[in-house]
């Protein structure tokens, strides 16, 4: 950020509280904010949904989810419900279908290309 700011004369940095935004650095973060763990407030900022104390910790296999196009392809039908998820780790080539809910801490290992739908993973 510092390098970008130095290009523009008179520019300044602004400190924003973490509860005012949801940082998106990787597709892990993108999955969280697209899920029902977050909601859009009336003033158009993202906030955790009612009943969600902390954002779920997500780790997606970078071989299949690192690029946004690959991420989109694997979540094309629907984003899984994460409002009751504390942690999700996906290893392998997993596609999400409709009506998938993740509850608690889940580690899913796909041995081959797999698609899940209509299920609750605990």
- Identify the structural domains of the chain with CATH numbers, from first to last: 22-121 (2.160.10.10)
36-64: average pLDDT: 94
Helix (H, G, I), strand (E, B) or coil at 98: coil
Catalytically annotated residue among 12, 25, 26, 98: 25
Q: What average pLDDT does range 112-118 have in this prediction?
A: 96
- What single DSSP character describes residue 20? G
- Residue 21 pLDDT > 70: no
What are the tens digits of pLDDT across the range 32-49? 999 999 999 898 888 999
Instruction: Please determine, for residue 51, whether its predicted confidence score (pLDDT) is greater than 80.
Output: yes
- Angle (CA) 115-52-46 rounded to 5° is 85
What integer pLDDT is reported at residue 96 of this predicted model? 97
> Which pLDDT band holds residue 82 (cuts at 50, 70, 90)?
very high
The question of whether 25 is a catalytic residue gets the answer yes
């Amino acid at each position: 950020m510092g390098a970008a700011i130095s290009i523009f004369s008179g520019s300044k940095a602004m400190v924003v509280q973490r509860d005012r935004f949801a940082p998106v650095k990787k597709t892990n973060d993108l999955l969280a904010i697209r899920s029902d763990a977050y909601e859009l407030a009336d003033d158009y900022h993202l906030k955790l949904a009612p009943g969600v104390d902390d954002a779920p910790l997500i780790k997606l296999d970078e071989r299949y989810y690192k690029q946004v196009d690959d991420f989109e392809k694997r979540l094309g039908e629907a984003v899984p419900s994460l409002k009751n998820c504390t942690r999700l780790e996906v290893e392998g080539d997993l596609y999400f279908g409709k009506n998938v809910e993740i509850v608690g801490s889940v580690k899913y290992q796909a041995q081959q290309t797999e698609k899940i739908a209509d299920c609750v993973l605990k």
